[in-house]
């Protein structure tokens, strides 16, 4: 089920966490990262191609969970991977995160929601 298991590793060239000085698009959820927001900017080679990838702070939380749960993530598939795990584990907290991600992290009024906490992993839940 974990997407990372069937993925080709990328060759990371650089990774930074700058504060946006202009609007950027999150490569994961496609939302606009606004000036003043911190985001993750990575450059890597995948399949022989040079890729510039930007991840908003909210999607970084999902990446963090996938890193803890499965040992990594696939670039551009973070939302879909989360959804598959939510269905597989029948976890409402993960499904809620999926819904927020699909709404590009906005509430019903259209305002950006606070960056969520990283949900517990399956192991952490089992131990609790």
Number of residues interacting with Zn ion: please give it, by CB under 5 A.
7
Query: What minimum distance in Å lies between the beta carbon of 116 and Zn ion?
Result: 12
Which of helix, strand or coil describes residue 54?
A: strand
Question: Which residues within the stretch 47-106 sit at the binding site for Zn ion (CB under 5 A)?
Answer: 56, 59, 70
Q: First vs last Cα of the chain: how many Å apart?
A: 24
Alpha-carbon distance 125 to 4, whole Å?
Answer: 22
> Which residues from 14-33 bind Zn ion, rule CB under 5 A?
26, 28-29
3-state secondary structure 50-103: EEEEEEEHHHHHHHHHHHHHHCCCCCCCHHHHHHHHHHHHCCHHHHHHHHHHHC
Whichever of 48 and 84 has its CB closer to Zn ion, that residue is 84
Residue closer to Zn ion by CB (options 13, 113) is: 113
Between 44 and 116, name the residue whose CB sits nearer to Zn ion.
116
Contact between 2 and Zn ion by CB under 5 A: the answer reads: yes
Name the minimum Å distance from CB 48 to Zn ion: 26
**Angle, alpha carbons 109-111-112 (nearest 5°):** 145
> CA-to-CA distance for 99 and 8, rounded, in angstroms?
28
Q: Which is nearer to Zn ion, 2 or 67 (CB)?
A: 2
Binding site for Zn ion (CB under 5 A): 2, 26, 28-29, 56, 59, 70
């Amino acid at each position: 089920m974990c997407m990372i298991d069937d993925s080709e590793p990328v060759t990371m060239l650089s990774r930074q966490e700058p504060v946006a000085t202009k609007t950027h698009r999150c490569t994961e959820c496609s939302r606009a990262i606004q000036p003043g927001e911190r985001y993750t900017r990575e450059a890597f080679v995948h399949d022989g191609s040079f890729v510039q990838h930007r991840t908003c702070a909210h999607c970084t939380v999902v990446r963090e969970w996938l890193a803890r749960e499965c040992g990594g993530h696939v670039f551009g598939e973070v939302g879909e991977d989360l959804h598959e795990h939510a269905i597989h584990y029948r976890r409402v907290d993960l499904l809620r995160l999926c819904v927020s991600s699909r709404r590009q992290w906005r509430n019903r009024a259209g305002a950006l929601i606070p960056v969520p906490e990283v949900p517990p992993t399956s192991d952490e839940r089992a131990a609790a």
